[in-house]
Chain A
């Protein structure tokens, strides 16, 4: 788990470079809440606290959720989200190893459904520390400094009847953040913390589905290369879909699982009402994991 947190550094750095201090504040807040909630619950359940905290799983959940939500979201948003993720996503199922859903994404989904406005207001430029503190803790209006993400804007524009030729498809900031997570993910693969199946299949799924749509009508649908560098694609492929507990566990199953998440991400982004599709795609496929695992058992020696 610790390795995974280290691998996130590049992506977080890129985030800081473009949008300022918010991401660090969210992470610190999220981790503090995660440790507090996890300890409380372990105490209630009469489980030893220290080994559970030191395995880093709660911290990882908190970090992943903190970098998924807007860096200028009000403080109570992350507190709510992390508490929900730890309590409902993990502890109520019996703690580490027993949760059928990815806790971070469960928290994210909960926040997105409950607070859609706060969840889709992102910083649009670099914010200094005092500015960020002000925005997060005083909820001061930030209209001048914020807006929807590029992906969100694209969707709105396309929905308004514009074609892909008329709108800006790129976002430098998003591209660099995705590149950061990609490099971090490759590091994890080299260190064999994660296996190649899920990320590769995930990206394949995104490319295949986006290509099909784009080839059918390139003016209405975002081209595949832009899908890869926008939104949470790389974060999802390398850090979120690869959560071993809620992912499929057979080699073949991992390919199916990753691929279908990729396909769902594009479908939700294109036809759904939410700014990004990674969280719901992952949660949907989490439900399908027992089925996938059952039907993709490898052939046992001698049978």
Chain B
């Protein structure tokens, strides 16, 4: 058991438990839709055309942005459309997608580029991981190669085998079914990061997975550790606190402090990429909820629709509310036609219920007891509700990890985290606006300064010239005589003229 702990968090029972966790391979989808926009970073640019034939594992879109990973075709077939479609995102906005229609053959592009990791350099491996399209499969979708590139003096590698939220069992299923692959993946990561210790963190309700991994534990550096099944244990910084008692500062990343944290599914994906040369084209997804008959885990190709696997779980015919991700932090989606992407770890299909009426906040303080980062949600709510950004920042708005523990315990059923997310967006907007204003002001002020400087310089130049001329005149004696002569001449002329006029 982990010796340390973080404050707050909540114990939530899995609402839809299953006795035996298995993985069901889903059939090949007839069509996949692959979004060009990953969770973070720039939108990828397609490098195939409509009508082109593609193979499974072929790169179909990429960007110059080194932060991002390329996008691979997850089935073989023909590109039928490159257009904007709805993706599972809080914003509900459309973004660019590539649609491929399957030819049913699942022909892979030449995948014999598996490499012997022990003979490869760190750089080659990281590049290979990037090329294979691997991002964090826990739910955040942070590009793995970026983590590896930013790693500084790594001392501990943590393999996150905790399910990020109650109800999800895809990581549990993966550990039970692919313990050897996970262990090999860990060896690869260990080779890259050179950590002294490896901790595999598993929640204490996953005994089967624990034993499965234990069978393949042959390295003294690697330690299996159980942690309490508490919600938000899966969050990287909190997991590190629970395991190592290190608090990663809020303006820093774990990798900068020498701790590398990777999800088990990511580890297995790294194994597939390095040893088998297979890019990330499928993942394990849990289908659960009150509206499905069987709760199961499916391996499914990325880009398949939710319906593709939900139908395998025999949903009832009621009205459903569909949610991607967990019951706590998931994203509500409108319908089952949404595509499965790299961060889709779970699909909740629930019978639609009437929304619960919210009441006023009575500042009971239940929320600050469960907040894993020690915020005061009740105070923050007061300011966030009134869109008071400055005061919200004072109450550490930006440290909110949006885990929704506060929503869960609120006796008045207030969606606190939604207010915080909204205020964060307002703040981001304000910062952007402020930056624009600052740039404009700087420009304007510089222009003013430049004009003033030009004027001053011009004046100085003229004055200098004048002085120079005066000096020249003063210095030159003959000039004076010349002037005197000239005056004389003029006078004379005028006089003569006067004479003639009379």
Contact = CB atoms under 8 A, between A and B. Distances in A.
B360 A303 contact: no
Interface string A92-110: 0001111000000000000
Interface stretch (A76-84, A260-268, A294-302): A294-302
B248 A302 contact: yes
A244 B364 contact: yes
A42 interface: no
A251 B375 CA distance: 12
A247 to B, nearest CB: 8
A301 B399 contact: yes
B121 interface: no
A302 B373 contact: yes
Contact of B360 (A97, A249, A251): A97
B363 A97 contact: yes
B360 A301 contact: no
Contacts of B379: 249, 293, 297
A297 B399 CA distance: 14
A98 B359 CA distance: 12
Contacts of B361: 97
A55 interface: yes
B365 A300 contact: no
A176 to B, nearest CB: 30
Given A96-B362, A249-B368, A297 B249 contact: no
Contact of A249 (B241, B378, B396): B378
A254 B378 CA distance: 14
A303 B399 CA distance: 9
A301 B6 contact: yes
Contacts of B249: 302-303
> Which of the listed residues B363, B364, B395 has the most CB atoms from chain A within 10 Å of its own CB?
B363
Interface in B171-200: none
Interface string B355-376: 0010111111100100011111
B64 to A, nearest CB: 33
A227 B364 CA distance: 28
Contact of B365 (A51, A98, A249, A297): A249
Interface in B326-367: 357, 359-365
A250 interface: yes
Interface residues of B, number: 30
Contacts of A299: 374
B363 A245 contact: yes
Given A244-B364, A300-B399, A303-B249, A55 B373 contact: no
A245 B364 CA distance: 7
Contacts of B378: 249
> Which of the listed residues A195, A254, A303 has the most CB atoms from chain B within 10 Å of its own CB?
A303
Interface SS majority for chain B: loop
A300 B374 contact: yes
Contacts of A51: 357, 359
A300 B375 CA distance: 6
Contacts of B363: 97, 244-245, 247, 249
Contact of A298 (B250, B252, B359, B376): B376
B31 interface: no
Interface residues of A, number: 23
Contacts of A244: 362-365
Interface string B371-407: 0111110110000000000000001100100000000
A84 to B, nearest CB: 21
B399 A250 contact: no
B283 interface: no
Contact of A98 (B237, B251, B360, B373): B360
A302 B364 contact: no
Nearest to A299: B374
Given A51-B357, A249-B379, A293-B379, A300 B373 contact: yes
> Which of the listed residues A245, A301, A302 has the most CB atoms from chain B within 10 Å of its own CB?
A301
Nearest to B375: A300
Contacts of A293: 376, 379
B359 A55 contact: yes
Contacts of A301: 6-7, 237-238, 241, 247, 250, 372-374, 399
> Which of the listed residues B247, B252, B361, B362 has the most CB atoms from chain A within 10 Å of its own CB?
B362
Interface string B212-248: 0000000000000000000000000110010000011
Nearest to A297: B376
A38 B378 CA distance: 25
A65 B307 CA distance: 59
A251 B376 CA distance: 10
Nearest to B378: A249
Interface in A100-122: none
Contacts of A302: 237, 247-252, 373, 399
Given A51-B359, A244-B362, A244-B363, 5 more contacts: A55-B359, A250-B368, A297-B395, A302-B237, A303-B396
16 contacts: A96-B362, A97-B363, A244-B362, A249-B363, A297-B395, A298-B368, A298-B374, A298-B376, A301-B6, A301-B7, A301-B237, A301-B238, A301-B247, A301-B250, A302-B399, A303-B249
Interface of B: 6-7, 237-238, 241, 247-252, 357, 359-365, 368, 372-376, 378-379, 395-396, 399
Interface of A: 51, 55, 57, 95-98, 195, 244-245, 247, 249-251, 254, 293, 297-303
Pairs of residues from A and B, 9 with the lowest C-beta to C-beta distance, nearest first? A97-B360, A302-B250, A301-B373, A298-B374, A96-B360, A244-B364, A300-B396, A249-B363, A244-B363
